[in-house]
Amino acid sequence: MKIATYNVNGVNGRLPVLLRWLHETVPDVACLQELKAPKGKFPEEAIKNAGYEAIWHGQKSWNGVAILSKIGAPVEMRNTLPGNEDDVQSRYIEAMVNGVLIGCLYLPNGNPAPGPKFDYKISWFERLSKHAEALLKSGNPVVLTGDFNVMPTEIDVYKPERWADDALFRPETRLAFKNLVAQGWTDAIRKLYPAETIYTFWDYFRNAYGRNAGLRIDHFLLSPAINKRLIAAGVDRHVRGWEKTSDHGPVWIELAD
């Protein structure tokens, strides 16, 4: 079972890129972030024609998450994180697919930091951690994936000193990620590649992709019940080099059946 995550940076604007990638790599499940489309503007037909059934939670202009599956329709469990009824941002969707509970998330960027946006990021992180703990306690096979907007350690940033004060790399952010993982989750990429330079995002600025000035901010966290099934993981980094592409590359894992 191959599961991918991809921050598409606009599901309609990047639709040709998304479809090309789906056709090329054929993941069983694809978690998407930054749809930047309201409910009615999700390209359901094109996705269906590509062989996928989908659930999504959209929002005008920003955010938005979706789960696509070609191995049976995703059964939606929830489309918000618990803990704040007033939060209207579409950043979480969760579904059961083929016996695996999949949480697809788009954690707030949080810049500029400090400030209200950073406070929102940290509080969203707390809500995610609380929910993640409940998922772990269920004992189910769980995959938490998406754009976490966190570089967990220094090897996940091309120039750590430049990012020290950024919301994606501040000590509070890294600590929140570390504490989340410490609940019992496994960072899939780092389990297979503990020390390699692996990036999932390259800024549009200053030829970042060409210089490989990247960040690793899209992650897969695996629960103990599914951990041992991990057999491969990687980044489709060439997709970042396509025309009209997202600033993220797709990331994927493969699980034994």
Contacts to DNA by CB under 7 A: 9-10, 12-13, 36, 60-62, 108-109, 111, 117, 204-206, 244
Residue type, 105: L
Q: Which is nearer to DNA, 59 or 186 (CB)?
A: 59
Q: Which is nearer to DNA, 37 or 55 (CB)?
A: 37
Least distance in Å: CB of 119 to DNA?
13
Closest to 113 (Cα-Cα) out of 145, 149, 82, 156: 149
Q: Which is nearer to DNA, 168 or 233 (CB)?
A: 168
Report the half-sphere exposure of 10 (CA within 13 A, side-chain side): 10
Q: Which is nearer to DNA, 13 or 234 (CB)?
A: 13
**Helix, coil or strand: residue 77:** strand
* d(C-alpha 217, C-alpha 238), whole Å: 17
Please provide the distance, in angstroms rounded to a whole number, between the alpha carbons at the two ends of the chain: 6
Measured at the alpha carbon of residue 59, what is the angle toward residues 56 and 64, in degrees to the nearest 5? 50
Q: Which is nearer to DNA, 62 or 123 (CB)?
A: 62
Instruction: Tell me the β-bridge partners of 7.
Output: 33
Q: Are 216 and 152 in contact (CB under 8 A)?
A: yes
Least distance in Å: CB of 163 to DNA?
11
Least distance in Å: CB of 112 to DNA?
9
Least distance in Å: CB of 5 to DNA?
15
Q: Which is nearer to DNA, 83 or 115 (CB)?
A: 115
Residue type, 225: A
For 16-64, strand residue ranges (E) read 29-33, 53-57
